[in-house]
Amino acid sequence: MAASDHISEPVQMEAHASRKRRTTDISDTLQNGSGQVISEADALIHSPDPLHPANHICELCKNFYTFGWVTGTGGGVSIRDDKHIFIAPSGVQKELMRPTDMFVMEYETKKYLRRPAVLKPSACTPLFLAAFTKRDAGCCIHTHSQWAVLVTLICEAGLQDHPDGSGKDVFAISEIEQIKGISRGGHGNSSTEILEGGRKAGNLGYYDTLKIPIIENTAREEDLTDTLEKAIEEWPEATAVLVRRHGVYVWGKDVAQAKTQCESLDYLFQLAVEMHKMGLNWVK
Amino acid sequence: MAASDHISEPVQMEAHASRKRRTTDISDTLQNGSGQVISEADALIHSPDPLHPANHICELCKNFYTFGWVTGTGGGVSIRDDKHIFIAPSGVQKELMRPTDMFVMEYETKKYLRRPAVLKPSACTPLFLAAFTKRDAGCCIHTHSQWAVLVTLICEAGLQDHPDGSGKDVFAISEIEQIKGISRGGHGNSSTEILEGGRKAGNLGYYDTLKIPIIENTAREEDLTDTLEKAIEEWPEATAVLVRRHGVYVWGKDVAQAKTQCESLDYLFQLAVEMHKMGLNWVK
Amino acid sequence: MAASDHISEPVQMEAHASRKRRTTDISDTLQNGSGQVISEADALIHSPDPLHPANHICELCKNFYTFGWVTGTGGGVSIRDDKHIFIAPSGVQKELMRPTDMFVMEYETKKYLRRPAVLKPSACTPLFLAAFTKRDAGCCIHTHSQWAVLVTLICEAGLQDHPDGSGKDVFAISEIEQIKGISRGGHGNSSTEILEGGRKAGNLGYYDTLKIPIIENTAREEDLTDTLEKAIEEWPEATAVLVRRHGVYVWGKDVAQAKTQCESLDYLFQLAVEMHKMGLNWVK
Amino acid sequence: MAASDHISEPVQMEAHASRKRRTTDISDTLQNGSGQVISEADALIHSPDPLHPANHICELCKNFYTFGWVTGTGGGVSIRDDKHIFIAPSGVQKELMRPTDMFVMEYETKKYLRRPAVLKPSACTPLFLAAFTKRDAGCCIHTHSQWAVLVTLICEAGLQDHPDGSGKDVFAISEIEQIKGISRGGHGNSSTEILEGGRKAGNLGYYDTLKIPIIENTAREEDLTDTLEKAIEEWPEATAVLVRRHGVYVWGKDVAQAKTQCESLDYLFQLAVEMHKMGLNWVK
């Protein structure tokens, strides 16, 4: 998600005050438990369950803000359940989001079932979709972490080039325990393979070299779609793609896997920057 | 705001205990909802709405304290609504402020409508006013962020000089995604242009070079006014001015824009310091 | 604990929603205060006391997460009381754990009395046991702190070699006040000696050189057991063992000693990295 | 306070569970508001006022812990009111302290009026007393901040020597706005001068060079007393003394001044370390 768009006042107002929001695509109305009439579109994001995607995204973003992953409206999260994709809107303060700010897309048709009236859908949407469709992911996280940006800069400058390791277009690191926190990622649409990736058997080992492809940034976030999809295809084991001078996209079969892999990768990016400062090679 | 003045005991006492404070400029009294008589001046800062400027400034400062932006009574925030300017007092612990500590100035007349008796108005006031009057800003944030100070030191030492980029009196960086979080800033008093600046169309693009002017610090904060105003005029696209060895002033059409731009700039200053440590140029 | 295994959905679900969990080894049932029937195994982890090991481990991990010690399911904690050992499961998000996630082992027989059905016991278990049996420890903490990893890398590269100090297989630092926060550790199974270690008389002095052995990492965490046990025997004064490119194991006679020693060591590792960046020797 | 002594179990137990603690020096008993009989000694530390020194010290330490100032039982705080000095005990986890853990000394006689039975008085006590008696301070803070330690190491190595600035035994920095957050400190026992130090007129100006003396560390904290007292006398403008390879003592006329000065100094120490890494001089 571009760190760019305007934060509409009404959103922020509502983040503190009101609970009402107009939505489009309201094709019908329902009654909720307390007898209140809500639209079908709104029913998609109203739930008392803190793990409902609309609630979960808000909670995750609050935490990611403290890590510097979604600073200044940057970054974003998307969760896919059986039939729907939930996506945070573009350009809002991620730490202040509310479930009513959420966009909901029907996965099969890629049609929006819910669009908050005053907000814009995320520019990351096609990139999140790439992870969902090409890897059967259940969650995709995009951060602007400075550690991610810095490793792409170090690679760009050729400061860690290694025949079996990093190059201009790939970040590589080996023999660090935290690498074992990263799944091999699966390499197709098969959900069993993705599930497999979340188990010990499916994760990288200590002596494996973790490799994450780096794609070049573009002026418009949407324009990253082709190269991101190409990277996903060319790197069947990767569970993430770095975007030069921008950040990283990390996915997993569910929120827990996407989040813990994002944490492990961020840990490795930070460690790599510190290693580089001390003249140490990333690949042993 | 200078990190300098004495923190009056009564303020801190009240921050925990009492809710009463004497104010000056009480020309009349009103009754609030619960039948309590309060002065007209106090009515300006009493509101149950967390987004009322007097409440909002306190909340923002609590968060900014955790970022190291308002350490040791340094830094400050001012919000302008239709007719008034709300300003945190000088030299108080910003993370402990209460709405009753707030100064309120009438925008048209620049006359204080509310002055907490034992406090001093902020030395930043003329600088906040420059952003309000010359850019029609709705909020101005001043931080002592170490990243801001460090980039001014790197520029001063000529360590990142570049024909199209940084120099002694300007910080410049290019081709980093977070740049897209910064508005072009508008260049006059027209509120439509400022509004424009908050939308995607009005923000910098990835291939634009972000440039922030740097002015020299002075012994007294008030004496920065002339050079700050001059920088605002000479840099019509800037939404911020760096003060050498001191910090940064960042504004926006409203709190959300000022805050997210301040976050994006701080991110870029920190990234620039890390890039510099690794021998990388800020401008590609 | 390896940063590797899959986080079972039910665990995370329960972390927010339900309080029920199936356990194995249920040989009998009891009634709790409110008349509810719970198994003997579950009775081991149900307590209103926040200092009960099952509650305490959850609270500690929540805090350790904010220090970067248990990022991405890495790291872990184990507490031993009179008869039992409480251990966090493998591969779960440490900051979200609940008492019902806990494994409980009988200390004398090393037999599990409680095994949450869908979880796996921690790969660190034999390493925690080494600290309990060889040092009579009451608590053992394992972190993936980047500072710990970085000092092992600096030692590996021979960048701080010193005749009386650091070498490839030992981290050493001297004349830093925080060294006084580290116990001499005791050197046998005698609990009196361990108790002794927690008192001022038993801690290192300012002019003592703190030395922590470094062992090589292995592909499987369990395989560290032999070398960790050997290091514990060969370094009778050590209260911690560093694992190269992995992290650190720190123990103490109780939670307070293990935690404060872990904090003091982490402080010293971080300081050592910063000293190294400035070309300063760790040993005076 | 040395980061050294054992944390007695009962203290930590009470931090969560009970509210009772045996105290010595109980010469009489009183009844509190709810008819409960408490000792005269305990009456000194029981208050519903969050700004009562016994409560305030606990709150401050909780915050200082998050800054890394009191890691691993290190550091400490003491507050002096009209007749008493309140001091945190030795070797406890500072972030978990409770008012009942507090030692209370009569200022005039330097006799303990309250000594928690199982705890030891802080080894920093004579150092806190130096600030109270020689500068009429109302609060003294001792941190183990790594930034403080690092600047003493840089000075020791002669890496920032400057004819008008830093040397082996003095840290000096100039022309940084945050310097204005530091009082000139007063130079005697006169309380008017100390009060003066808290006001703008009494603070350093932007063009003043801030100088903080550095004393050598000793094996026992108590043995710092002579050199600390000597430094206080020889540096009448200093509001702090750095202890080589150990940390810093900062005082002020009240908690607000001591705390904000401690923050401003820590900011300057951190900035100085970063400046040093980039080859920049501390004194312009």
For residue A164, is pLDDT > 50?
Answer: yes
The answer to whether position C5 is within a domain reads no
Which tokens is A134 given? 């090409």
Q: Catalytic one among D108, D177, D216, D263? A: D177
A63-C250-C88 Cα angle (round to 5): 55
Domain check: are B222 and B86 in the same one?
Answer: no
How many Cβ atoms are within 10 Å of C188's Cβ, its own excluded? 12
Query: What is the largest distance, in Å, between two alpha-carbon atoms of chain A?
Result: 66
List, as one string, the DSSP characters of B231-249: HHHH-TT-SEEEETTTEEE
3-state secondary structure at position C169: coil
Prediction pTM value: 0.88
Mean pLDDT value across residues C119-133 = 94
The answer to whether position A135 is within a domain reads no
- Please give the residue that has the higher pLDDT: either A242 or A117: A242
Listed residue (C88, C122, C104) closest to C41, CA to CA: C104
DSSP H stretches of helix in chain D: 9-16, 40-43, 53-66, 125-135, 146-156, 191-197, 225-234, 255-277
Least reliable range by pLDDT among A37-51, B147-161, C71-85, C151-165: A37-51
**Average pLDDT of chain A?**
85
> B157: part of which helix (H) or strand (E)?
none
Chain B residues with CB under 8 Å of D280 CB are 153, 157
Mean pLDDT value across residues D258-270 = 98
**pLDDT by residue (tens digit) across C132-165?**
999 999 999 999 999 999 999 999 999 999 999 9
Domain check: are D208 and D116 in the same one?
Answer: no
- Please give the residue that has the higher pLDDT: either D22 or A179: A179
pLDDT at C130: 96
pLDDT at A82: 87
Domain check: are B258 and B148 in the same one?
Answer: yes
> D39: part of which helix (H) or strand (E)?
strand D37-39
Query: What is the largest distance, in Å, between two alpha-carbon atoms of chain D?
Result: 66
For residue A141, is pLDDT > 70?
Answer: yes
- Confidence category of residue B29, pLDDT binned at 50, 70, 90: low
Q: What share of chain D is helix, strand, coil (3-state, %, to 5)?
A: 40, 20, 40
Closest residue in C to D74 (Cα–Cα): C178
Chain B residues with CB under 8 Å of A6 CB are 198-200, 202, 257
Domain check: are C85 and C199 in the same one?
Answer: no
Mean pLDDT value across residues D248-272 = 97
**pLDDT by residue (tens digit) across B120-154?**
999 999 999 999 999 999 999 999 999 999 999 99
For residue A30, is pLDDT > 60?
Answer: no
In this structure, are residues C47 and C55 in contact, taking their beta carbons and an 8 Å threshold?
yes
Domain check: are C197 and C61 in the same one?
Answer: no
**pLDDT by residue (tens digit) across C97-116?**
999 999 999 999 999 999 99
Least reliable range by pLDDT among A88-97, A115-124, B15-24, D132-141: B15-24
Listed residue (D91, D128, D114) closest to D11, CA to CA: D91
**CA-derived radius of gyration, chain B:** 19
DSSP H stretches of helix in chain C: 9-16, 40-43, 53-66, 125-135, 146-156, 191-197, 225-234, 255-277
Q: Give the length of chain B.
A: 284
**pLDDT by residue (tens digit) across A237-255?**
899 999 999 999 999 999 9
Residue at a domain's end among A122, A152, A183 = A122
Domain check: are C194 and C180 in the same one?
Answer: yes
Q: Hey, are the CB atoms on C264 and D72 less than 8 Å from each other? A: yes
Which residues are B249's β-sheet partners? B142, B241
The answer to whether position A134 is within a domain reads no
The answer to whether position A112 is within a domain reads yes
| Distance (Å, whole) CA C12 – CA C17 | 9
Domain check: are D53 and D39 in the same one?
Answer: no
pLDDT at A202: 84
**Average pLDDT of chain D?**
85
For residue C11, is pLDDT > 60?
Answer: no
How many Cβ atoms are within 10 Å of C44's Cβ, its own excluded? 23
Domain check: are B158 and B264 in the same one?
Answer: yes
3-state secondary structure at position D198: coil
Query: Residue C79 is part of which domain span?
Result: 48-122
State the count of interchain CB pairs (< 8 A) between A and B.
Answer: 103
For residue D27, is pLDDT > 50?
Answer: no
The answer to whether position C63 is within a domain reads yes
In this structure, are residues D263 and B71 in contact, taking their beta carbons and an 8 Å threshold?
yes
In chain A, the percentage of residues whose pLDDT exceeds 70 is 81
pLDDT at A180: 95
Q: Hey, are the CB atoms on C144 and A177 less than 8 Å from each other? A: yes
| Distance of residue A24 Cα from the nearest chain C Cα, in angstroms | 31
- Angle of the B146-156 helix axis to the D255-277 helix axis, nearest 10: 40
Which tokens is A282 given? 């990333």
Mean pLDDT value across residues D26-35 = 49
pLDDT at A184: 86
Strand D29-31, strand A84-87: pairing: unpaired
The answer to whether position C128 is within a domain reads no
The answer to whether position A113 is within a domain reads yes
Strand B209-215, strand B240-243: pairing: parallel
**pLDDT by residue (tens digit) across A187-237?**
433 334 433 333 344 899 999 999 999 999 999 988 999 999 999 999 998
| Distance (Å, whole) CA C139 – CA C122 | 15
| Distance (Å, whole) CA D262 – CA D266 | 6
**pLDDT by residue (tens digit) across D224-253?**
999 999 999 999 989 999 999 999 999 999
Which of C49, C207, C263 comes nearest D71 by C-beta?
A: C263
Mean pLDDT value across residues D46-56 = 97
For residue D83, is pLDDT > 50?
Answer: yes
pLDDT at A190: 34
Q: How many domains is chain A partitioned into structurally? A: 3
Domain check: are B39 and B54 in the same one?
Answer: no
| Distance (Å, whole) CA D40 – CA D46 | 10
Reported ipTM: 0.86
- Confidence category of residue A38, pLDDT binned at 50, 70, 90: confident
Give, as one character, the DSSP assignment of residue D221. Answer: G
Domain check: are D213 and D261 in the same one?
Answer: yes
3-state secondary structure at position C142: strand
Listed residue (C41, B218, C188, A272) closest to D180, CA to CA: B218
The amino acid at D194: I
Chain B residues with CB under 8 Å of A12 CB are 51, 255-256
Mutate to test the interface with A, among B177, B206, B257, B262 (most CBs of A within 10 A): B177
In this structure, are residues D143 and D1 in contact, taking their beta carbons and an 8 Å threshold?
no
Chain A residues with CB under 8 Å of B280 CB are 153, 157
Q: Catalytic one among A177, A193, A196, A234? A: A177
For residue D8, is pLDDT > 50?
Answer: no
What are the two backbone dihedrals, phi and then psi, of residue A81, each rounded to the nearest 5 degrees? -105, -165
Q: Hey, are the CB atoms on C144 and A49 less than 8 Å from each other? A: no
What are the two backbone dihedrals, phi and then psi, of residue D276, each rounded to the nearest 5 degrees? -60, -40
Chain B residues with CB under 8 Å of A72 CB are 178, 181, 260-261, 263-264, 267
| Distance (Å, whole) CA C50 – CA C122 | 23
Domain check: are A94 and A171 in the same one?
Answer: no
* D59 is known as an active-site residue: no
CATH of the domain at C113: 3.40.225.10
For residue C217, is pLDDT > 80?
Answer: yes
3-state secondary structure at position C66: helix
For residue A51, is pLDDT > 70?
Answer: yes
Least reliable range by pLDDT among B194-208, C37-51, D108-122: B194-208
Listed residue (B127, B120, B84, B163) closest to B246, CA to CA: B127
> B261: part of which helix (H) or strand (E)?
helix B255-277
Mean pLDDT value across residues D96-112 = 97
**pLDDT by residue (tens digit) across A72-85?**
999 999 999 989 99
pLDDT at C202: 84
Which tokens is B148 given? 């801001």
| Distance of residue B188 Cα from the nearest chain D Cα, in angstroms | 30
Domain check: are C33 and C62 in the same one?
Answer: no
Which of D9, D157, D243 comes nearest C254 by C-beta?
A: D9
All partners of chain D with 3 or more CB pairs under 8 angstroms: B, C
The answer to whether position A131 is within a domain reads no
- Please give the residue that has the higher pLDDT: either B203 or B23: B203
- Confidence category of residue B16, pLDDT binned at 50, 70, 90: very low
**Average pLDDT of chain B?**
85
pLDDT at D242: 98
**Average pLDDT of chain C?**
85
Residues 6+ apart with CB under 8 A from A35: none
Listed residue (A177, D84, B198, D13) closest to C70, CA to CA: A177
pLDDT at C222: 87
Q: Name every residue in C having a CB less than 8 A away from some CB of A.
A: 2-7, 9, 12-13, 16-17, 68, 71-74, 91, 93, 144, 146, 149-150, 153-154, 157, 159, 217-219, 243, 245-247, 273, 276-277
